[in-house]
Structure 1
Amino acid sequence: RNIEHALQGVEDKQTQTLPDNPLCQARIARIMGFEDWSACESALASHRERVALHFANIIATEDEEGEGDAAVDDGWFELWLSEMDEPAAIEWLAEQGYENPEGSYRLLAALHNGRTVQTMQTQGRKRLNQFMPLLLSALTEVENASETLERVLLLVEAILRRTAYMVLLVENPNALTQLVGLCSESPWIAKLLADTPLLLDELLNAESLYSPPAKEALQDDLRQQMLRIPYEDLEEQMESLRHFKKAHTLRVAASEIKGTLPLMKVSDYLTWIAEVVLDHVVDVAFSNLVSRHGRPQRSDGTACDTDFAILGYGKLGGIELGYTSDLDLVFVHQSDPLLATDGDKPIDNAIFYTRLGQRIVHILSTQTPSGQLYEVDMRLRPSGNSGLLVSTLQSFEKYQQNDAWTWEHQALARARGVAGCRDTLAAFERVRHAILCAKRDKQALRKEVVDMREKMRVNLGTPVAKRAEEFHVKHDFGGIVDIEFLVQYLMLAWSGEHPELTQWSDNIRQLEELGRAGVLDVADTEKLREAYIVLRSTIHRRALQNLSSRVEGERFAEERDYIEEMWKKVMLG
């Protein structure tokens, strides 16, 4: 943000002022390649006096300016500045490899002649006139130049009033190359950058862009970013969390596109990002409430060290988060709900934890200028939407033992503690283990799981009339959910005899444990595992293309046949 504000100060046409903050000055000088601010300021002043029509550049040194001019054909400047007539421009675009030259020309003309560009101040217009030819030239390096242009123009339109971003791309050719390459591969990334141009800073360092940090490094990064923001400044906390999530999600997506992260690692990293964010959100929300009401008290008179945990279900619990996944959450605590907090304005512990849960949901799901952190789904809590937002762990255990439906126990197989108090998380794992290991009638259990699967297939799968044309990767017969239900049935049926099955919450490792325990043949678990990875990889890739989970009807015939065979063998006898 300091860079953005400072560069906007440089851009100020009316005053021509330069930023006077030494930290801003040093950062700008470093990014622009100067030894110190005085050298940067001298170059800026010199270039203000000798700006040319087509190659104005107030940032670059003379040598850099000359190199930049030589690298881009004059035709791109003539095209952008409307010095070519329409037929000549379309022919030029076609010769340069644009697959839809007519459409690309219309998009450029609409931008160039639009009101926003026509009313830009002189300095900003000069920067745009330098940036666009560089962009158009860079697009010739990708196969889908016209399609990529359409995607990148969303970003260009977003930064027309903040042309400092254009300066950063002009002065960092590698960043421009990364931008074009990523937008060529993924419209989802293009939209992410257009929605949050500040993420362009991530493109400056290709090494970090394609090497997302592990969970410990993520924790350190977030901790460092939040040191300057007091917990009481909830608005700034929320904005910074949203930027943190987007920046690291961009790194994961870029790494997947480049092939430096396999599918399993992609889901790991996306899940780690969510866990690190959730841990911080718990700390912020708890601190805010403690400052008002004091800490909840235990029956022995000691103060609770949160004694609160977030349980992750679904994709979060199964370590399978995707780029657009919501978070299935359940909140539990271990304090005595009949006791109260120890502050000047005490409230019952039960009320304290209910407000804590509400504040966590608010921080995660509220729409801010930076968007929503995560969409939250709380329907898997005991008694669903009619139940308490936050339960004691004791009541959670009692519900699971006496009142939960079979599908809720299936969901528990994919659940795990993801954030909060370590003691409470450990206590939940003991409860989960006990519930999953409970003795069950295998025949009755199998019938309930099969009936539930059929209901889901009818409601969410492809209609019978369209099954030859479409295949829903998740919900159709032979899809992902068949494998998940099969694994969940076996977990509930056999964990009592093989308690080691409960140690994992993700399908891949659960399948491996089922093979080791002899519940399934190892060869079958390996084939199911490979089919599962193939189908999940497809969903990940399609998400980056903004595509649904529906594919052509003939896709994945071999995998689907095998999954159907295993379903009939295990679930239908």
Structure 2
Amino acid sequence: MKDTPDTGLIADLTRSPIRAPSQAAAKSVAADLKPLAADHPEIAAILASAGAPRDFLLAALALSPYLRETALIDPRSLALALSLPAPYLVARTIEEARLCWKNGEGLPVGESELMGELRRAKRRVSLTLALHDLARLIDARHTTAALSDLADAALASAFDHLLRGGHEAGKLTLPDPENPCENSGLIVLGMGKHGARELNYSSDIDIVVFFDPDAGIARDRDEVGEVFARMVRRLVRIMQERTGDGYVFRTDLRLRPDPGSTPLAFPVDAAMNYYESRGQNWERAAYIKARPVAGDTGAGERFLKELVPFVFRKYLDFAAISDIHSIKRQIHAHRGFGDIAVKGHNVKLGRGGIREIEFFVQTQQLIAGGRMPKLRLRRTDEMLVALARARWIDTTTARLLVESYWYLRDVEHRIQMVRDEQSHTLPESEAELARIALMMGDADTASFGQTYVAVLARVEECYAELFEKEQGLSGGVGNLVFTGDDDDPGTLKTLAELGFDRPSDIARIIRTWHYGRYRATQSVEARERLTELTPELLKVFGATKRADEALIRFDAFLSGLPAGIQLFSLIGNNPGLMSLMVTIMASAPRLADIISRKPHVFDGMLDPGLMAELPTRDYLAERLKTFLEGARAYEEILDRLRIVALEQKFLIGVRLLTGAISPERAARSFSHLADLIIGAALEAVAEGMEEAHGRVPGGRVAVLGMGKLGSYELTAGSDVDIILLYDHDAGADESDGVKPLDPVRYYTRMTQRLVTALSAPTAEGILYEVDLRLRPSGNKGPVATSIRAFAKYQAEEAWTWEHMALTRARAVAGDASLCGEARALIDEVLAKPRDRTKLLADLTEMRDLIEQEKPPRDIWDVKLIPGGLIDIEFIAQYLSLSARAGGWLPAPEDDEVTGLLVGADVDQSFAALDHNECTSTDATLKTLGPDVLGEEVTETLRAALALWSGHAQIVRLCTEGDFAPKEAPAGLIDLVIRAGQAPDLASLETDFKSTSKRVRAVLRQVTG
């Protein structure tokens, strides 16, 4: 125990924050305290003074009959509370309570003695906290935490007593009788406010008790359940039976599984089975705050860790949020708390009360806690701060709710301090309400009421913004009737006013929904959710340029959904997402198809920081790590990789769709995601290989990304071009596992497994189509290549086109040292002097061959058109090879390309290009182009590259096929026009044609 501090004393008050209801009441308290002064000099000193400490003490005891009675019963506790700081006195009392199950010699005390000690501790702590709270020397945060700590200590001491008693009676065999709870397998969880360390001044405590039969402390395994059930019954008596010393805490066990038909103590396996199979949404909410408070706390932590998937789901279930909200509505309906008021208002359950703040927090935790572990805190105020830091709510709302929460807790405590009643309701009479107002430090009830109502109104406003969904079917937009077979004239008028050109067809479609003709609308609940959603849905669809087309696509999407409740709940609880859904339906059938097959991908849209957060490599890595946490089995890892990859591709695409990120940023993000996914898959495959075949001595693996992966230019629909390189000790003949393989077979099999891991279809889809054709010798070569064979091939056998492809190569995964060696090897190969004439001839031949074998469909085929992406990539690769090679072999004097050289040192330009960026087409043009082609030509190429890439990103995101304006959804045409920064499609087509000609002219100049 630390030395007694000398600050925060009631005896040192310079002014009283409260005043007595009357002089007569203060004099009455003084008369009661006067006989105590003889034996307690601390009390005598304050009574003899004429200052703030005396005024405060008389006021506090005059306002609270309970505190007055407690002071008279236990003057020693009053003396200590007046002369010692609350934190010190409370901590010392709690420590004594924790150990009071045994005497000074370490022997157990009797049950009646234990009960007396715990009650006296509760009385001292309550009196101390109340006086210091009223004196404003501590606040409600300290009060709630200290009361919770006392409850923990009392429970732990009581269970130590009970376990030790069972041990001495021969019913139990404890691992350590001196520390009975340790390794006992007895789990005691504090729930609700107790678990969150937020207990009220007069709270009962909600606990749940489990036991592990496998802990082995019960002598007779068949009787273990009854032994622990009897123990809990005795625990309740120890805690809540009223004696001459009062009670400790009223104890409630009704939060255990199925309390009407289950024992007071529950086996852990049965509990886990219950929650996994029958657990309710309200139980999920309850377990957000659960905390081991007594018993075997290590076992309690392990139990809660296993329960995390039940409480915080990876996938969102917005039906749960509706359940929570319905509980709140039921409370209002049952208790009649429909209006904000002062007299008779319930500060906990009433409008704008504490429960609304708690529901506000808990629902957000149920939404986001499965995906964001930082939002799994227990305390309400800490969670509000965490929600603000995660950008889930704004800081103003968080600050307002935190301040309101603690103000309302102050009011609640003062209600309970008056007579130690478990009440949350303000008095109806003026005189009793004045008592509360004075305890709050207000001058009168009017002043208190004004502040109180203002706080309630602020809370109600925040709560309403979060949950206001209770509008009628029409939602304020006019007639919307979809019953019967005939069209309602008023409904057709409303639909036309909303922006639909064919209102009769739209009405027929919506009747189809409400008749339950789709699987997604067959259940009553699904139809109810969709009915509530329909008015707002029609408003948002109607605001689009082609409302009918957008809604018809949404109807097609609904018709393919296997179920609808989750999706309808999701967009119904988040109106902002509805607009995005409409955008997707109107413009991006590919994304619409993803949502229909995997609705969970939409969950990530709930993150309010989504559009503000750039999907950088670090950002994506953190989410990948979080999602893979706990996955051990190979198949589970691959499934989780597919889930997170699909979701993050979708979210990157949504950012691109809404304009939150540029096409260039999207390409880089798609590429970073692929790097991370390939790396995680490689790690899982390598672990599997080691488990089955051991390790090859000195074995190392690196994966080279080629093509668009290597150049950070992936689109939403890109496959990945990779080459797997390996190395091992020179004398390594085979791996060291029980089923050894020689290195060639070992790494061949590893490559095959990696390809399968990435591209094999499972229930969760595929990760990427994988292309290995850029490896040495193409499809004829081995699927895995040793670093030495790779070096030899590139130096002696590779064709010019292979070296051009190598300019875009970069290591994306694998052993860091081998990645570095591969990078150095590539630089060395590409730096060798070249015959300029041969390079240009090969480049021309390759481009002509592609043009013959894969002619462009039309001007929208931006990859293959003359002057399209391939032309720009060829130019960039030519520049890269030129710069890397440095000096040239002798070339003809009349080389036409000489006219493009402006005399700068190309070697120096290439040296300025970061190797991590040198594979990017744009970076190559930006760094090398000005010195070779000139500033104006370079900017022409970069602008064309941005135009083509932006178009390709949008088209590959929104559709599986090619862009054909006549068949394209209206929304996609709008997006393509926006990406091309054109006023209309005709202007964009003209721009495409002129850009194509300019780029082709540059290529002709380069190739001569």
Give the TM-score, by structure 2 length.
Answer: 0.49
Per the TM alignment, residue 143 of structure 1 is displaced from its structure 2 partner at its CA by: 2.4
Aligned with residue 443 of structure 1, among 826, 833, 837: 837
Structure 1 residue 359 corresponds to structure 2 residue 359: no
2:821 paired residue number: 427
- For residues 203 and 151 of structure 1, do their structure 2 counterparts lie closer, same or farther at Cα, with a shift above 3 Å needed? farther
2:646 paired residue number: 246
In the TM superposition, 1:176-255 aligns within 5 A as 176-209=578-611, 211-230=613-632, 233-255=633-655
In the TM superposition, 1:109-128 aligns within 5 A as 109-113=511-515, 115-116=517-518, 120-128=522-530
Per the TM alignment, residue 361 of structure 1 is displaced from its structure 2 partner at its CA by: 0.6
2:675 paired residue number: 275
Aligned with residue 863 of structure 2, among 469, 474, 494: 474
1:173 paired residue number: 575
Q: Is the 8 A contact 1:445 1:493 kept in 2?
A: no
Per the TM alignment, residue 63 of structure 1 is displaced from its structure 2 partner at its CA by: 8.2
4+ long deviations beyond 6 Å: 30-39, 44-48, 59-63, 550-553
The separation in 1 between residues aligned to 2:467 and 2:782, in whole angstroms, is 67
Structure 1 residue 559 corresponds to structure 2 residue 995: yes
Aligned with residue 726 of structure 2, among 306, 317, 333: 333
Aligned with residue 75 of structure 1, among 479, 487, 497: 479
DSSP-derived class of the 2:767 partner: coil
Aligned with residue 400 of structure 1, among 770, 777, 794: 794
DSSP-derived class of the 2:722 partner: strand
Letter of the aligned partner of 1:341 in structure 2? S
Per the TM alignment, residue 119 of structure 1 is displaced from its structure 2 partner at its CA by: 8.2
Q: Could you give the per-residue CA deviations for residues 519-539 of structure 1, whole angstroms, max 9, x where no partner exists?
A: 222332222111111111111
The separation in 1 between residues aligned to 2:819 and 2:520, in whole angstroms, is 59
Structure 1 residue 287 corresponds to structure 2 residue 687: yes
Between the two structures, name the one with larger relative contact order (CA 8 Å, sep ≥ 6): 1
The separation in 2 between residues aligned to 1:420 and 1:63, in whole angstroms, is 48
Letter of the aligned partner of 1:261 in structure 2? I
DSSP-derived class of the 1:75 partner: coil
Letter of the aligned partner of 1:369 in structure 2? A
Per the TM alignment, residue 141 of structure 1 is displaced from its structure 2 partner at its CA by: 2.8
- For residues 96 and 322 of structure 1, do their structure 2 counterparts lie closer, same or farther at Cα, with a shift above 3 Å needed? same
Per the TM alignment, residue 34 of structure 1 is displaced from its structure 2 partner at its CA by: 10
Q: Could you give the per-residue CA deviations for residues 153-181 of structure 1, whole angstroms, max 9, x where no partner exists?
A: 34433545341331222222223233223
Q: Is the 8 A contact 1:378 1:384 kept in 2?
A: yes
Letter of the aligned partner of 2:944 in structure 1? A
DSSP-derived class of the 1:419 partner: strand
- For residues 25 and 47 of structure 1, do their structure 2 counterparts lie closer, same or farther at Cα, with a shift above 3 Å needed? farther
Q: Is the 8 A contact 2:520 2:563 kept in 1?
A: no
Rg larger in 1 or in 2?
Answer: 2
Aligned with residue 775 of structure 2, among 381, 384, 391: 381
Q: Is the 8 A contact 1:491 1:502 kept in 2?
A: no
Per the TM alignment, residue 287 of structure 1 is displaced from its structure 2 partner at its CA by: 0.7
Structure 1 residue 322 corresponds to structure 2 residue 722: no
2:402 paired residue number: none
DSSP-derived class of the 2:932 partner: coil
The separation in 1 between residues aligned to 2:322 and 2:517, in whole angstroms, is 38
2:846 paired residue number: 452
- For residues 493 and 107 of structure 1, do their structure 2 counterparts lie closer, same or farther at Cα, with a shift above 3 Å needed? same
Larger displacement relative to structure 2 (131-140 or 379-388): 131-140
Provide the alpha-carbon RMSD of the alignment: 3.4
Q: Can you give the 5+ residue segments of structure 2 that lack an aligned partner in the other structure? A: 1-277, 288-307, 335-362, 364-462, 887-906, 966-985
Q: Could you give the per-residue CA deviations for residues 326-384 of structure 1, whole angstroms, max 9, x where no partner exists?
A: 10111111124852222233222222211211111111101112221111111111111
Per the TM alignment, residue 320 of structure 1 is displaced from its structure 2 partner at its CA by: 0.4
Per the TM alignment, residue 437 of structure 1 is displaced from its structure 2 partner at its CA by: 1.1
Per the TM alignment, residue 413 of structure 1 is displaced from its structure 2 partner at its CA by: 1.1
Per the TM alignment, residue 294 of structure 1 is displaced from its structure 2 partner at its CA by: 1.6
1:526 paired residue number: 939
1:56 paired residue number: none
The separation in 2 between residues aligned to 1:433 and 1:135, in whole angstroms, is 56
Letter of the aligned partner of 2:955 in structure 1? R
Q: Is the 8 A contact 2:667 2:953 kept in 1?
A: no
- For residues 417 and 119 of structure 1, do their structure 2 counterparts lie closer, same or farther at Cα, with a shift above 3 Å needed? closer
Q: Could you give the per-residue CA deviations for residues 239-297 of structure 1, whole angstroms, max 9, x where no partner exists?
A: 21122112222222222222221222111111111111111111111011111222210
The separation in 2 between residues aligned to 1:208 and 1:181, in whole angstroms, is 17
Per the TM alignment, residue 148 of structure 1 is displaced from its structure 2 partner at its CA by: 1.9
Structure 1 residue 151 corresponds to structure 2 residue 545: no
Per the TM alignment, residue 472 of structure 1 is displaced from its structure 2 partner at its CA by: 2.6
- For residues 203 and 83 of structure 1, do their structure 2 counterparts lie closer, same or farther at Cα, with a shift above 3 Å needed? farther
Q: Is the 8 A contact 1:365 1:374 kept in 2?
A: yes
Per the TM alignment, residue 390 of structure 1 is displaced from its structure 2 partner at its CA by: 0.5
Q: Is the 8 A contact 2:281 2:324 kept in 1?
A: no
Letter of the aligned partner of 1:353 in structure 2? Y
- For residues 103 and 311 of structure 1, do their structure 2 counterparts lie closer, same or farther at Cα, with a shift above 3 Å needed? farther
Q: Is the 8 A contact 1:320 1:506 kept in 2?
A: yes
1:568 paired residue number: 1004
DSSP-derived class of the 1:570 partner: helix
